[in-house]
Amino acid sequence: MKLLICNLKMNHSLKEMLSYKKYLENESIPFSFFLCPATCYLPAVYSKKYALCAQNVSLPEFSKNTGSVSAAALASLGVQGSLIGHFELQESLEVKHKKMLAVLEQKMKAFVLLTNSLDEFYYQYTSDVLFKQIQTILQDVDVKYYGQIYFIYEPSWLIGGEVTLSVYEVAQIFKELRVKLQDSYRFSFPLLYGGGLMKESVLTFLEHEGIDGVLVGKFANDVHNVVNLWKSV
């Protein structure tokens, strides 16, 4: 089943989030669906109808830092996954690696974001850039955790905009990346795309057999967009 992740960032009031939840619970969901509300709303929008995903998680060594949120705390709220490595945070691959391990140890899913610059974009070269990032992120990770790891490609120059790569471009990059991953890890990690996806393009990406799912941001702020997407499938 294709995977749809909706990242709401810091948008919505509590009243709006409760209304958002009500809309979702009244519909049939044709995807494996993860909702990423602002951290403070996670308990309020918990539902058996869909899965909750945190927008971020703190490093284990930040346990004494005010405002930190541990993977264990998230898991205790019924959160089933976490996004890791937002481009705007400018986190190193080592930090992504540590955060991912913290999430995996709590039996949560790790949705690890990969990116590149426009100068680095060109099919074969892009797959090489992403693969090298994955090699660092997966260093010394036990194979027992592989089934909990997902990789999301977000081109840095398209994040937050309304222009996306073509489905063909993403599918070609993923095709080459899958070969590298299979050769090195003997495992088919799910590959998702995010960046510039809007109402006109989300379904096209979800329907392509070479793309395992999508991460959407601005599009998902309006719950009607999400529900209408489900109804169009």
What residues does each domain of the chain span? 3-232
pLDDT band at 189 (very low <50, low <70, confident <90, very high): very high
CATH number listed for the domain at residues 3-232: 3.20.20.70
Inform me whether the pLDDT recorded for 88 exceeds 90.
no
Q: Where do the DSSP E strands lie in the chain?
A: 3-7, 32-36, 51-54, 81-84, 109-114, 149-153, 191-194, 213-216
Q: According to the model, what pLDDT value does residue 64 have?
A: 80
Integer CA distances (angstroms), 111 to 116, 211, 212, 233, in order: 17, 15, 13, 24
Q: According to the model, what pLDDT value does residue 81 have?
A: 98
Residue-wise pLDDT for 192-207, tens only, equals 999 889 888 999 999 9
**Over the range 160-175, which residues count as b (16 or more CB within 10 Å of their CB) and which as e?**
eeeebbebebbbbbbe
Average pLDDT over residues 57-78: 91
Tell me what the pLDDT averaged over the chain comes to: 94
Residue-wise pLDDT for 112-154, tens only, equals 999 988 877 776 689 999 999 999 999 999 999 999 999 999 9
Q: According to the model, what pLDDT value does residue 162 have?
A: 81
Nearest to 118 by CA among 165, 57, 151: 165
